[in-house]
Amino acid sequence: MKKVILVLLLVIAAKISAQNLQVHYDMGEDRKYFTTTLEMFKPDEYGATFFFVDFDYNLSGNKGISLAYFEIARYVSVYEKLSLTLQYNDGFVGVPVPVLGNIAVTLNQTFLAGVSYPIDLGFVTLNTDLLYRSTYGSEGADGQLTVVWFVPFLDGKINFTGFMDVWSQDEILRAGTAGTDDKEIVFLTEPQLWYNYDKHLSIGTELEISNNFLPFQKEIKVMPTLAVKWNF
């Protein structure tokens, strides 16, 4: 059912207001597959809405969709540059199981709420969210810090953009942990560098750096991609 919902959201967004579609080839160790990302950011008189949908194409056998992940965030301006935000994350990953074939495993739906404020450092503005995080299966309170940046160079021909997330969660949420509800700190950042060929087509790269994010992860992972982006 989650797969159907995610696909419908993708189709609806593409027709209404999607801003870009990205195709990445993941060159990380033991990965070597494609990922598509549909992304939208739309400001309005009350604030802004942002969402993205990721599909990984690495299913055992036919290389179909092995992961679907969705995030949506609504921002409401309350005072000058200060905004309130409500966010939702959800998805599933396909896991090969002997005899049964591929089965879908949830990525643990998460609700987030907090405040957002842009921090101007002169050479870059860091759009910063401070969030309360509630993840299905996680006990007690968790928090998250999100930082997003966008820096144009050479009259907009090159863009340096990306995000950084740091949050707390129960260790038990990641397969391969000790199976306790002890808290761990998760770190994830994905800086991107894009060359804008024209107003529609961009060519670039992404570097995903994470710790305690992937199942069975015991060390920092660095996973580069090559990518193209079509701007709507």
Q: What are phi and psi of 138, to 5 degrees?
A: -100, 130
Contact 75, 47 (CB under 8 A): yes
* Range 84-88 average pLDDT: 98
Asked which of 68-72, 86-90, 99-103, 228-232 is least confident by mean pLDDT, the reply is 99-103
Superfamily (CATH) of domain 2-231? Nucleoside-specific channel-forming protein, Tsx-like (2.40.230.20)
Q: Do the strands 142-153 and 101-106 form a parallel or antiparallel pair, or are they unpaired?
A: unpaired
Dihedral of CA atoms 90, 28, 215, 219 in degrees, nearest 10, equals: -130
- Residue 222: how many CB atoms within 10 A of its CB? 10
Structure-model confidence comparison of residues 98 and 192, the more confident one? 192
Per-residue pLDDT at 174: 67
Whether residue 55 has pLDDT greater than 90: yes
Residue 62's pLDDT band (cuts 50, 70, 90): confident
Whether residue 95 has pLDDT greater than 90: no
* Range 55-80 average pLDDT: 91
CA distances from 68 to 7, 31, 50, 54 (A): 9, 16, 17, 6
Per-residue pLDDT at 176: 47
